[in-house]
Amino acid sequence: MRSLMLAALFIITSPGYADSYPPSHYCRKPFKPYQFNSQWELNNFNDEVQRYKRCISDFVEEQEEAIEQHKQAAEDAIEEWNSFVRWELN
């Protein structure tokens, strides 16, 4: 239990090693005109909306994958510490 708490302390106190700035998407939000003057303008706007949605979705998916990688790295570090304590210190 003590070793797990110490490993958790290492994880909690290590934000200095994290990215200094949170990632941001570079998706462009479409501009909706006050009114559409043609079917082409409406279709074009709808296409831009779909591109924007896809861009945001891709960004969110990438961030969720990064979260899982960071969680796994943290779990691996805890396991390494616990193994060290079990086999080297006892």
- Position 4 in a domain: no
- Total number of domains constituting the chain: 1
Give the model confidence (pLDDT) of 28-67 as tens digits. 999 999 999 999 999 999 999 999 999 999 999 999 999 9
> Is the per-residue pLDDT at 5 higher than 60?
no
Burial profile 5-31: b = 16 or more Cβ within 10 angstroms, e = fewer = eebeeeeeeeeeeeeeeeeeeeeeebe
Structural domain range at position 62: 32-90
Answer for the pair 48, 14: CB distance below 8 angstroms, yes or no: no
Mean pLDDT of 4-19: 57
For residue 9, being part of any structural domain is answered with no
Looking at the domain assignment, is residue 11 inside a domain? Answer: no
CA distances from residue 90 to 50, 73, 79 in whole angstroms, order as listed: 59, 25, 16
pTM above threshold 0.95: no
Half-sphere exposure of 62 (CA within 13 A, CB side): 9
In a domain, 76, yes or no: yes
Instruction: Return d(Cα 46, Cα 34) in angstroms, integer.
Output: 15
